Structure 1
Amino acid sequence: MSEAARLAPHLAGPAWILALDQTGGRGRRGRPWRMPAGNFAATYVFHPQVSPQQAALYSFVAALALEEALSRVAGPHARLSIKWPNDVLLNGGKIAGILLESLGQGGRISQLAIGIGVNLAEAPDPGTLEAGAMAPVSLRAETGLVIAPEEFLTPLAVAFDRLARQFATQGFAPIRAAWLARAARLGERLVARTGTETHEGVFETIDETGAMILRTAGGPMAISAAEIFF
Structure 2
Amino acid sequence: MTDWPDGYGRRILETVDSTLSEAARIAPDLTGPEWILGLHQTAARGRRGRPWTHPKGNFAATLVIRPPGGPEQAALRSFVTSLALFDACVTVTGRAEGFALKWPNDVLLNGGKLAGILLESTGTPGQGSYLAIGIGVNLAQAPSPDDVEPGAVRPVSLLSETGTAVSPEDFLTYLAAAYARYETQFTTYGFEPIRQAWLARAARIGERITARLSNSETAGIFETVDGRGNLVLQTDNGRVSLPAAEIFF
TM-score category of the 2 structures, normalised to the smaller one: over 0.9
Alpha-carbon deviations, 1:129-178, whole Å to 9, x = none?
22222100001100111110001011100000000010001000000000
Deviation at 1:194, TM superposition (A): 1.4
Alpha-carbon deviations, 1:72-107, whole Å to 9, x = none?
11112541000001200011100000000013589x
Normalising by structure 1, we get a TM-score of: 0.96
Query: For the structure 1 residues 171 and 22, does the alpha-carbon distance in structure 2 shift closer, same or farther, using more than 3 Å as the test?
Result: same
Equivalent of 1:36, from 42, 47, 55?
Answer: 55
Bigger Cα displacement from structure 2, 201-210 vs 6-15: 6-15
Distance 2:214 2:236 in 1: 20
Equivalent of 1:51, from 70, 93, 102?
Answer: 70
Name structure 1 gaps, 5 residues minimum. none
**Aligned structure 1 segments of 4 or more residues deviating by more than 6 angstroms:** none
Equivalent of 1:19, from 38, 44, 54?
Answer: 38
| Correspondence 1:141 to 2:160 | yes
Map 1:130-169; keep pairs closer than 5 Å.
130-169=149-188
Deviation at 1:46, TM superposition (A): 1.3
Counterpart position of 1:102: 121
Normalising by structure 2, we get a TM-score of: 0.89
Alpha-carbon deviations, 1:14-43, whole Å to 9, x = none?
110000001111111111111111000000
User: Matched residue pairs, number?
Assistant: 229
Q: Is the 8 A contact 2:98 2:109 kept in 1?
A: yes
Distance 2:37 2:179 in 1: 15
Q: Is the 8 A contact 1:49 1:110 kept in 2?
A: no
Identity %: 60
One-letter amino acid of the counterpart of residue 135, structure 2: I
Alpha-carbon deviations, 1:179-208, whole Å to 9, x = none?
000000000001111111111100000100
Name structure 2 gaps, 5 residues minimum. 1-19
Counterpart position of 2:137: 118
